Amino acid sequence: MKKHNFNAGPSVLPQFTIENTAKAILDFNGIGMSIMEISHRSKDFQPVMDEAEALFAELLDIPAGYKVLFLGGGASLQFCMVPFNLLEKKAAYLNTGTWASKAQKEAKLFGEVVEVASSKSANFNFIPKDYSIPTDADYFHITTNNTIFGTEIRKDIDSPVPLVADMSSDIFSRPVDVSKYGIIYGGAQKNLAPAGVTFVVVKEDLLGKVSRQIPTMLDYRTHIKESSMFNTPPVVPIYAALQTLKWLKNLGGLKVMEKMNIEKAEMLYNEIDRNKLFKGTAETEDRSIMNICFVMNDEYKDLEEEFGKFAAEKGMVGIKGHRSVGGFRASTYNALPKESVQALIDCMKEFEAKR
C-alpha cells in the first residue's frame, strides 16, 4: 500500500533528494567512498557546500550583505544564539505558539524582553494583528509558521527594528523579501533536508554590537569567517539540502512552489469545511498552508480514535495532532504531492459516508 507522509517533521522529502542522497551514501561522485565517510574539508565536499550556499541565496534572491550558514543544533539553539549576538538591552517578541514561546524564554536570559502581543488566550488559533513594535528594541522576533496550532504569517512584516524570523517550517514555501529581515533561521527537517542541519541567513552589519563576550561556537562571526566550516558540519544533511534546492530550482522556483502549496492547502481546507464530521481549528484568515490542523465536530468527537485508525489503514501517516492539542494535523510541505492530499480527502469522504 502506498504511504502518504503527513508527518510534521522530520517529514516528507522530494524523491529526487532521497534517491540522489542514497546514491551518494553508497558511492559519492564515483570516488569509491560514501558521502558519510569523506572529509568535510576535502576537494570532493567543498563544492557541495559552495553550491548549496549559492543555490540557497539564488532561490531566496538574497541581497548583498547577507551570509548563508549551515550549522548544527536545530532552531532551538538559535533561540539562544540570536539574543546572544543581538540583544544588548531589549528585544521584542510576537508570541504565536509553542516555538515562539520557547524562543522568548531563552531571550529573557540575556536582557529585557517585551511580548508585543500573544494569541495564547485563544489557544494560539490566530495571528495577533494590532500591536506596536518598540522602536528602541534591538530586534523583533517572529515565528512565521505555527506547526502545532496551524497558523502562519504569510507576508513580510515591515519592522522599524531588525526583524528576526524562525522559518523552520515554511522556508522555501513562498518568495520572501529577505531585505526586510536581519536574520532568518530554521531547522531543515521540514522543507529542506533530514534532521541535523540548521540554516541561518544573517545580515552581517548587525553583528559585533553587543558588549558581552560570546562563546566562539555561538558567535555568528565565527561561522561567517570559516564559511560554515569552523567545526565539522553535518555533511549528509547538507548534501541532501543541496538536492532539495536543485529540485526546487528545476521545478521553477518559489513562485511556482507557492502556487502548488496554496492549491494543496485549499483542497484540504475546502473538504474540512464541507465535511460534517470535521472543523478547522485556526481562524480562517490565518490558516497555515504548511500545517493544516482540524478536529472532529463536537457531536462526532467520540469518532476521533476510529477515524485515526481508518486513515492509517488507508495509508495516511502522521496525521495525529500534536500531543499538546490533539485532533489531527496534515503537514502539506513542499515535497508532499497533490495526490497525497487527494487521498486524504477521499479518506475523509469515505469515513463520512459511513456515518
Known catalytic residue at 166: yes
* Nearest residue to 152 via CA among 171, 133, 179, 132: 171
At which residue does the C-alpha cell 553583528 appear? Answer: 207
**Burial class of residue 352 in the structure, from the number of CB atoms within 10 Å of its CB (0-12 exposed, 13-18 middle, 19+ buried):** middle
C-alpha cell at 117: 502581543
Q: What strands lie across the sheet with 278-280, from one edge to the other?
A: 278-280, 291-296, 328-331
Task: Please list the residues that pair with 143 across neighbouring strands.
Answer: 166
In the three-class reduction of DSSP (H, G, I as helix; E, B as strand; rest coil), residue 202 is classed as strand
* Nearest residue to 195 via CA among 43, 56, 13: 13
Residue of 67, 138, 166, 286 marked catalytic: 166
| Residues making up the chain, counted from first to last | 355
Strand 291-296 with 112-118, pairing: unpaired
Residue of 99, 138, 264, 286 marked catalytic: 99
Dihedral sign, CA of 115, 117, 119, 120?
A: positive
* Nearest residue to 308 via CA among 283, 332, 281, 344: 344
Residue of 190, 246, 264, 320 marked catalytic: 190
Active site residues: 99, 166, 190
